[in-house]
Amino acid sequence: MFKGKKVLITGGTGSLGNALTQRLLTENVDTIRIFSRNENKQLEMASKFHDDRLRFLLGDVRDYNRLTRAFEDIDIVFHAAALKHVPIIEYNPFEAIKTNVMGSQNVIDACLEEDVEKAICIGTDKAVSPLNTYGATKLLMEKLFITASNYLKKERHKTKFIALRYGNVLGSSGSVIPKFINQIKNNEKITITDPNMTRFSISMDEALDFILKATEIGKGSEIFVPKLRAYSLMDVKDALFDLLGKTDEQIVGIRPGEKLHEILINNEEMNYCWEYQEMYMIVDPSLRKFISLTNELPEKKKIENMEIYSSDAVEKISKEELKKIFTDSELLD
């Protein structure tokens, strides 16, 4: 579905934006517009790709007028721009609201103004039963996207709004694995929040496959969640000790706003969640499109025998498999 399409990525100079750009270029898109605030990263990205199909636009999702100019003639928008660092957001909550909530509404309004075909927002597990400001703002972003078409006339607006939800990409900046690796290499104590902690695992390639597939099948107003395995913090620690050598360890306790186990679908959402191919689909029954959405995908199956989709309740990646994943990746370099 991407051949010949004009695509725009908000926050496109981040790690996901770079990876998504690289994948979309292989899909024979017509144009990719990178919309971000960071001019240095735009220069780096332009130098990295050397592709005439890329266009770089400076701007902020807080600026509606700039968004409407950027979205002109665009077919698909991937909305990845966000303030993400939890401690900084806790100290500056309204700045996160202006970017993650009000900025997302600006993206929606610009999509409608410019008649974009599909708009996909990139969410997070932190939006499920949120414990911090970041999670709360991303929950509101999801709500804005899935309800965006509630009051629209199909004859006037064709945009389909879709929300995606998954956890941190394995080894991404700021996550626990790079932190452990740096601590071991510097012969420092490994700081473990809780020995029982688990986290969902998704590689960048898996995340990209999920994003493109959900974009292709999405009808609008759904939240898509990938089927994932998980790992335990202690297995990650032991795998890295085997590969890099052992150091001391210290239990520091869970930080404010942090969960022992990640949750991608809570028990309330399970009531209106379906299994569809290699993902789950959440469709709120209060939405006007509920009946049509749930009838348009004949392959879907109602989820049974799962009360909550949590990282402690799914298949775990073994220590040996984690060692292979780390060795095959560039994380240890």
Q: How far is CA 194 from CA 64, 242, 250, 256, 330, in A?
A: 43, 20, 10, 13, 26
pLDDT of residue 11: 97
The pLDDT, as a whole number, for residue 175 is 80
Residue among 84, 126, 160, 237 flagged as catalytic: 126
Please report the pLDDT score of residue 277 as a whole number: 85
Residue type present at position 244: L
Beta-bridge partners for 164: 122, 224
Of the CA atoms within 13 Å of residue 106, those in its CB half-sphere come to 23
pLDDT at 276: 86
Domain 6-167+203-227+263-310 is found in CATH 3.40.50.720: yes
- The tens digit of pLDDT for each residue in 191-215 reads 999 999 999 999 999 999 999 999 9
Q: What is the pLDDT of residue 232?
A: 96
The stretches in the chain having pLDDT less than 50 are none
Structure tokens at 294: 């749930």
pLDDT at 257: 81
Q: Active-site residue 126, yes or no?
A: yes
**E-strand stretches of 29-111:** 31-36, 54-58, 76-79
- The helix-helix angle for 133-146 and 103-114 (nearest 10°) equals 20
Q: Which of 27, 33, 69 is nearest to 54 (CA)?
A: 33
Residues 140 and 93: beta-carbon distance below 8 Å: no
What's the confidence (pLDDT) of residue 305?
Answer: 79
Predicted local confidence at residue 47, as pLDDT: 95
Q: Look at residue 170 in the predicted model and tell me its pLDDT.
A: 85
CA distance 125 to 139: 9
Contact 241, 323 (CB under 8 A): no
